[in-house]
Structure 1
Amino acid sequence: MFNHFIQTFIDAQTAARRHYRAVAATETRLFGQIGEPAVRVLQTTQIEDELRRTYEALANRMIFKARSDFAKGSARPVLFQETVFKVAGFDIEQSLARGEVPDFDKLWSVLQAQLSVLSDRAGEAR
């Protein structure tokens, strides 16, 4: 589910870059290479920065959602992002360096599993 969401984002990002390139090429045919172009195509580093920001924001939203889903009243369970990421093998920087997409569905499964354990322990403590 989350992997599909992020792949849809990547597909949109890729299509947008392709369209920007086409428009920029048309601008060059119309006006030549003189002056500053009106249309700017994102560079690879800018695309990577956007992916990084999107990956981080989605992972944080998933953690927030998981904590909300397992809340008991107004008390939300505590999660340590670093620990969850390690268990899920979820490393944004490593994925970007390899040209891969982090496995958001696995992250979600780990979040649910860890919060289920915490929820069961809280129930046993009563």
Structure 2
Amino acid sequence: MDERRPHQVYRVGEDPDARFTLANERTMLAWVRTALALIAAGVLVDAVDLPIADGPRRWLAAGLVLLGAVSAVGGWFRWARTERALRTGTPMPAPTLGAVIVGGLVAASALVLAVILLR
């Protein structure tokens, strides 16, 4: 029995070509880098004295940090779903996480643009 974790990934199917597993891992790490960038942007928005009122600035900062957390957790779950698909020979999962990140960034951009235009 395979003792690698998570069990719901490694106890099904068989090991795929290592190149595919490593590519899947690199993709997950790219989501982690995206998460770190979003969290850093949220911290920066909160820490730097920007010409934005406290309310919108706090919402923007919190939204970016939350988007970073969603990116990290979503990247992990996407890795697991993709690894299971590779191991079982089933179709790859649909890329839904990108739409969430893009939607969050569009909302953050709209907030910043509204604040700039209303000044």
Interval containing the TM-score (normalised by the shorter chain): 0.3 to 0.5
Name the structure, 1 or 2, with higher relative contact order (CA <8 Å, separation 6+).
Answer: 2
